[in-house]
């Protein structure tokens, strides 16, 4: 009997030693730097268990032994759920730090920059081609509803959500700017302000000119003059689905369209693009210069004039400059 007890005691001792050894080995592997040679971004799918996550990370050489991570997640950190999404794993990250990263939910932040002056069709096409976003756009989108700026998102966010954020951004910008607008402007609604801002956005890319260009159009509206804006004519031909891709012709300027401001007085029926904050501010606070005309000056800006005589001189100078550039 004593002999049996001694053997049982010895067996228990071996088991304890074995378990302790395995535990020590497991903890050492858990805390040891991993095999990852350089920082790596990996997407952890939704609805995947810890075993499959561990195998996925091992395949990407983030960890060496999947069992170490899965066992730690079930014991050391059993009270903290692992998050799905897109995560950055640094060079030589240990399984312990991998577990911390997956529990934190701190995902890679992506960004999409929407430039001022794009049409809604162009923005929606860019959204369609943006990786990391899910689903299509099913919410109604009208021209001029989307605020151009940089939007941050994480992997798996929906395109619908991003469009709604753009629409909300435009609504908030208008809600802030409209009550502070200059008095006696020749338009009475926020929608009209967006229409004029979209024209200003397409007419000039220079920040210093926006209020001045807006001032020209405001002066012309007050005098019931036609705006004679080339971008409105181009929009009438393409409806914003793509760039016209060529210079306007005399025939284009005479082509009937509700957007042709050479033929029609007042503002066109809707925006011709999505204006940014700066152009919205410009039409809410246009420069008071008395100017009625502007034409390209050949340097990326414009030459402004109060009279038609002065404007014709500026046009002649621009045409002369264009001829010197021809081969």
Q: Give the residue extent of every domain in the chain.
A: 29-104, 110-172, 190-325
48 close to 54: Cβ distance less than 8 angstroms: no
For residue 22, what pLDDT is reported? 43
Q: How confident is the model at residue 244 (pLDDT cuts 50, 70, 90)?
A: confident
pLDDT score of 296 more than 60: yes
pLDDT at 124 over 80: yes
pLDDT higher than 50, residue 50? yes
CB 248 within 8 A of CB 234: yes
Reported as a pLDDT band with limits 50, 70 and 90, residue 285 is very high
Decide: residue 103, CB within 10 A, 0-12 exposed, 13-18 middle, 19+ buried.
middle
**Average pLDDT in the 157-177 region?**
97
The pLDDT, as a whole number, for residue 27 is: 56
Angle 2-31/95-104 helices, nearest 10 degrees? 60
Residue 326 confidence class, pLDDT cut points 50, 70, 90:
low
Q: Please check the confidence at residue 19 and state whether its pLDDT lies above 70.
A: no
pLDDT surpasses 70 at 145: yes
Which has the higher per-residue pLDDT, 207 or 23? 207
Q: Please tell me the predicted confidence (pLDDT) of residue 105.
A: 83
Q: How large a percentage of the chain has pLDDT more than 90?
A: 69
**Which tens digits make up the pLDDT trace of 51-79?**
899 999 999 999 998 888 888 888 766 55
Q: Report the pLDDT value the prediction gives residue 12, as an integer from 0 to 100.
A: 44
Indicate the pLDDT class of residue 32, thresholds 50, 70 and 90.
confident
pLDDT for 3 = 54
Please determine, for residue 148, whether its predicted confidence score (pLDDT) is greater than 90. yes
Average confidence (pLDDT) over 215-231: 97
**Mean pLDDT over residues 111-127, rounded?**
96
Contact criterion met (CB below 8 Å) for 273 and 144: yes
- pLDDT value, residue 77: 60
Residues contacting residue 325 through CB under 8 Å, at least 6 positions apart? none
**What's the pLDDT score for residue 278?**
97
**Tell me, what's the pLDDT at 17?**
43
- For residue 327, what pLDDT is reported? 58
What pLDDT sits at residue 1?
Answer: 53
pLDDT at position 2:
54
Superfamily per CATH, domain 29-104: Endolytic murein transglycosylase (3.30.1490.480)
Q: Which residues, at least 6 apart from 79, have a Cβ–Cβ distance to it below 8 Å? A: none
Query: What's the mean per-residue pLDDT of the chain?
Result: 88
pLDDT at residue 150 greater than cutoff 80: yes
Look at residue 142 in the predicted model and tell me its pLDDT.
96
Q: What is the DSSP string of 256-294?
A: --TT-TTTS-S--SS-SS---HHHHHHHHS-------EE
């Amino acid at each position: 009997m004593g002999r049996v007890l001694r053997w049982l005691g010895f067996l228990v001792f071996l088991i304890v030693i074995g378990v302790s050894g395995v535990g020590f080995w497991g903890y050492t592997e858990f805390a040891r730097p991993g095999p990852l040679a350089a920082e790596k971004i990996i997407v952890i799918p939704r609805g995947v268990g810890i075993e499959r996550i561990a195998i996925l990370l091992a395949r990407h050489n983030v960890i060496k032994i999947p069992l170490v991570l899965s066992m730690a997640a079930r014991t050391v950190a059993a009270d903290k759920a692992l998050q799905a999404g897109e995560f950055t794993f640094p060079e030589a990250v240990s399984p312990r730090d991998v577990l911390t990263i997956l529990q934190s939910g701190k995902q890679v932040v992506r960004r999409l920059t929407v430039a001022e002056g794009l049409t809604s069709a162009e923005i929606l096409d860019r959204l369609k081609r943006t990786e990391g976003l899910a689903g299509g756009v099913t919410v109604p989108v009208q021209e001029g509803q989307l605020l151009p700026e940089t939007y941050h998102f994480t992997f798996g966010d929906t395109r619908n959500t991003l469009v709604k954020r753009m629409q909300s951004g435009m609504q908030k910008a208008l809600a802030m700017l409209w009550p502070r607008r200059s008095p006696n402007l020749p338009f009475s609604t926020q929608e009209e302000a967006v229409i004029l801002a979209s024209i200003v956005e397409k007419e000039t890319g220079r920040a210093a000119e926006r209020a001045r260009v807006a001032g020209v159009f405001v002066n012309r509206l007050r005098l019931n003059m036609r705006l004679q804006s080339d971008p409105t004519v181009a929009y009438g031909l393409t409806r914003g689905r793509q760039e016209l891709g060529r210079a306007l012709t005399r025939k284009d300027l005479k082509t009937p369209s509700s957007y042709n401001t050479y033929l029609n007085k007042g503002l066109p029926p809707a925006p011709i693009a999505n204006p940014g904050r700066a152009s919205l501010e410009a039409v809410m606070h246009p420069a008071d210069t008395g100017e009625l005309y502007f034409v390209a000056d050949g340097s990326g800006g414009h030459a402004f004039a109060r009279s038609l005589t002065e404007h014709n001189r500026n046009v002649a100078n621009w045409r002369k400059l264009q001829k010197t550039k021809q081969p």
